[in-house]
Amino acid sequence: MDERQVLPETGFARKKLTGGDLPEFFLEVRRRHAAREITFLCIGTDRSTGDALGPLVGTRLTEQGFANVIGTLDFPCDASNLEMRASLVPKEHIIVAIDACLGTPASVGCYLASGQPLLPAQSVGRTLPAVGHYSVAAVVNINGPKPYWTLQMTSLYKVMRMADELAEAIGRGFRGA
């Protein structure tokens, strides 16, 4: 893990949040790092319904005018280019990593927010490097024996609703919108 990914001042524990709780999480990130640039690293692909959450959020953020966004529908940040794209973020930027994930039935529709790096592709058994100073994993479906299939068969409506909720929360937390 890159040394820039661990900052002592970010280390608050992972919490399960509802969409209504998300703006407060982002407001706290903004408050802690008001003088620093924030980059949103939105991980996922447009080729899988469940995994499209990151690129959907990235697209919504660019539509809102956020400048430092990596991972959109037209240029996703996925397993094939994650390391290269993350390495392009200036070292002085704070990275907020966003990705979809699978979880327990009680967690579906919730967000796992943390002051720690995100471990992308963990629910599908891949090993990719940890990314971000902060992370938000949106639980889009139930984890089961066939995670790739589960992500592929995840409701597009649910993913789009969660992506909109997340992008709106970021806007409210960072811009007061």
Q: Is the pLDDT of residue 9 over 80?
A: no
pLDDT value for 125: 65
Tens-digit pLDDT profile for residues 71-86 = 999 999 998 899 999 9
Banded model confidence at residue 176, pLDDT cuts 50, 70, 90: confident
Q: Which domain holds residue 161?
A: 3-175
pLDDT value for 2: 37
**Rounded to the nearest 5 degrees, what angle is found at the Cα of 48, between the Cα atoms of 128 and 90?**
40
- The domain spanning residue 137 has which CATH number? 3.40.50
Mean pLDDT of the chain: 90
In angstroms, rounded to a whole number, what is the distance separating the alpha carbons of residues 69 and 48? 20
- Contact partners, residue 35, CB within 8 Å, separation at least 6: none
Q: Is the pLDDT of residue 22 over 80?
A: yes
DSSP 104-145: -GGGTT-EEEESS-B-TTGGGT-----B-SEEEEEEEEE--S
pLDDT value for 13: 76
More confident residue, 37 or 14: 37
pLDDT value for 5: 40
C-alpha radius of gyration, the chain, whole number: 15
Banded model confidence at residue 6, pLDDT cuts 50, 70, 90: very low
C-alpha distances out from residue 163 to 6, 68, 91, 157, Å: 26, 17, 27, 10
Tens-digit pLDDT profile for residues 108-167 = 999 999 999 998 876 666 778 899 999 999 999 999 888 888 888 999 999 999 999 999
Q: Is the pLDDT of residue 20 over 50?
A: yes
Q: How many domains are there within the chain?
A: 1
